[in-house]
Amino acid sequence: MRKSNLSPQATPVSDQRRLTVTPFWRRALRFLFRLAATFVVLSIVLVVILRFVPVPFSGVMVERQLGDWLDDKPNFKLHYHWVPIEKIAPPMQLAVIAGEDQRFPEHYGFDLAQMQKAWQAHQRGRKLRGASTISQQVAKNLFLWSGRSYARKALEVWFTALIELLWNKQRILEVHLNIVEYGRGIYGVDAASVLYFRRPAARINFAQAALMAAVLPNPHRYKVNLPSAFVLRRQAWIEQQMIGLGGNRYLDAIR
């Protein structure tokens, strides 16, 4: 009589296959890990590339144009062209810092002092105001979309940390000045200055720079060519801050 080659402890092939099947949750975790690793690598590569090349477009530009197409507004026209920071007048550089982020040369992307002040004011009953730095605005406008959500905020934190780590302050300011929004289809201080003042950003004077910085809290509501009383008051305040910071010498801290 023929003896079987299987030992008493041998496991049938079908049972072995059942034992080696990876549980679903492990496969899901593995997929999520690979997805996260891919995102991290690609985002780092993208930020490194944009450290050296002109930015062709921003996330907000794409969002606005898609929104117009979906709303059946085919006459959307994009006013945008990249200029190096050397072709942006120092008063324009200073005005944006004075109006939006006076601690820009000092912080590492997040102004914790301003965030604390905003929270304390909110605790006293005031409306919670934003404390976004120029670095955060670049991260949001360049890589992300408008709106409020925890997911978008988390990505904003990630990209802010990346650009602070991989770019210098001058590059962050350069990108901000080139992609900042000035109304429907208008991006960058050079495109805006040509439209509103018929001169390139390299020839913007002190008062014009303060006016252009004054509308940035809401460029769809406040207009450079039709400044409201609020915008004019803010322009005067920014001019005072520019002087108080030491004028164009203040820019030496980011060079």
pLDDT of 128 reads 47
Mean pLDDT throughout 58-77? 81
Domain boundaries defined on the chain: 54-254
pLDDT, tens digit (0-9, with 9 covering 90-100), for 88-128: 999 999 999 999 999 999 988 887 777 677 666 656 665 54
- As a whole number, the mean pLDDT across the chain is 86
Provide the pLDDT for residue 18. Answer: 52
Tokens for 99, please give them. 């109006």
CATH class of the region 54-254: mainly alpha
The predicted model scores a pTM of 0.85
% the chain with pLDDT above 90: 62
Residues 215/222, Cβ–Cβ less than 8 Å: yes
**pLDDT tens digits for 206-234?**
999 999 999 998 898 999 999 999 999 99
Highest averaged pLDDT of the listed ranges 27-31, 34-38, 148-152, 191-195: 191-195
Residue 161 has pLDDT above 80, yes or no: yes
What is the residue-wise DSSP string for 55-92? ----HHHHHHHHHHHHTT-TT---B-----GGGS-HHH
